[in-house]
Structure formats: C-alpha cells, structure tokens
C-alpha cells in the first residue's frame, strides 16, 4: 500500500471522504485531527476538508520533523493541540509514528483518543529477528488504550481481489495471499 499514489485532486478528495466516513461511522467523540509528518499531514488536511463538507468543521494540526526557530516557530503547525485528538496516518508498521504523536499530543495537554489509518495490513509486530504474537495495530491499541480505526484491512483487500473478475487485479492475489501467510496474524 502506498498512500503516495493518491497524488491528484480526485484521488485525494476521495481518500479524504473515506477517512471522514470511517471516523463518523465509528462514533468516536473528538475535537480535532493530528497528522504526523509526513504522509499524515496531507491525510489530516483532506480528512478535515471532507468532514467540513459533511457539516463537521474540525481543526487540525501536524508536526514538523525539525523544530523551526523563526516565523511561527516550533514543531506543531496549525491549530493548537487541545481536547480529544484523532491521529490520522496511512498505516501502522512499527508504531513509531503513533508513539511520537501520542507524546506530542500529551505534552500539549491534549488527549489522543483514536488512530485513523487507511489500511490495517494485519501484520505481526516485530522485525525479522523477533516477531510478535500481536499485530502492530493490536500493539498500539494495547499500549495506549485507544482504538485504531481502519478504512480497510488485509481481509477486505483479499476479499476484493478474490471477487474481482478483472485479470489485472487477479495478478496481485498470489502476492497478497503470500504476504498474509508469512506476516499476518491468525
């Protein structure tokens, strides 16, 4: 999955609508969005736009990778972090981005209340040496006690590919099945 492929206005608009619908459907109470640098910046912005189009205007902010010492300065850009904050990102791999985001949000006196991602790859946490028994998403949920919401997951993707009659999509099925068998949680 490469969120960078959402690289034009139509695709980005549609993706923002999917994020917004998933968040609204989940019924999570929140006051603002936070997009971790770098992909999360655009994803939080397009989600905020889609929510506004649905009649729910919410502020958003994001972080810089490097502290800026001139202009508006600081590491956080956008609305001040306050209240219940949803972290918006593309996927969770090792959970590093979420951990950094939770720390920044808490340091500002706000409360992280959920993580919203495009795809839950349903892969086990860890690395090539030490593979965990839980998924990266489950690890984040267990560590922080907040829900991780996903627009889709690996099972959704497999079901879509299996049901598709498009031969070009069928070519991806063996690789996705092999990925799930090797890295997936059971």
Mean pLDDT across 32-40:
95
CATH numbers and ranges of domains, the chain: 3-153 (3.40.50.2020)
Segment 67-80, tens digit of pLDDT: 766 666 678 999 99
Segment 131-173, tens digit of pLDDT: 778 888 999 999 999 999 999 999 999 999 999 999 999 999 9
Which amino acids are annotated catalytic?
A: 68, 70
| 180 to 47, 130, 135, 183: CA distances (angstroms) | 29, 17, 12, 5
Q: Is residue 128 over pLDDT 70?
A: no
């Amino acid at each position: 999955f490469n969120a960078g492929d959402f690289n034009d206005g139509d695709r980005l608009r549609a993706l923002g609508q999917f994020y917004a619908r998933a968040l609204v459907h989940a019924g999570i109470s929140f006051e603002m969005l936070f997009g971790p640098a770098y992909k999360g910046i655009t994803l939080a912005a397009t989600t905020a736009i889609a929510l506004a189009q649905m009649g729910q205007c919410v502020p958003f902010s994001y972080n810089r990778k490097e502290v800026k010492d001139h202009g508006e300065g600081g590491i956080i850009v956008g609305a001040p972090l306050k209240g219940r904050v949803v972290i918006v990102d593309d996927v969770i791999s090792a959970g590093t981005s979420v951990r950094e985001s939770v720390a920044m949000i808490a340091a500002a006196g706000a409360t992280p209340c959920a993580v919203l991602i495009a795809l839950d790859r349903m892969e086990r946490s860890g690395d090539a040496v030490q593979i965990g028994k839980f998924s990266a998403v489950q690890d984040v949920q267990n560590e922080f006690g907040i829900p991780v919401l996903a627009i889709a997951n690996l099972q959704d993707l497999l079901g879509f590919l299996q049901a598709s009659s498009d031969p070009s999509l069928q070519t991806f099925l063996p690789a996705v099945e092999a990925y799930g068998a090797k890295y997936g949680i059971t």
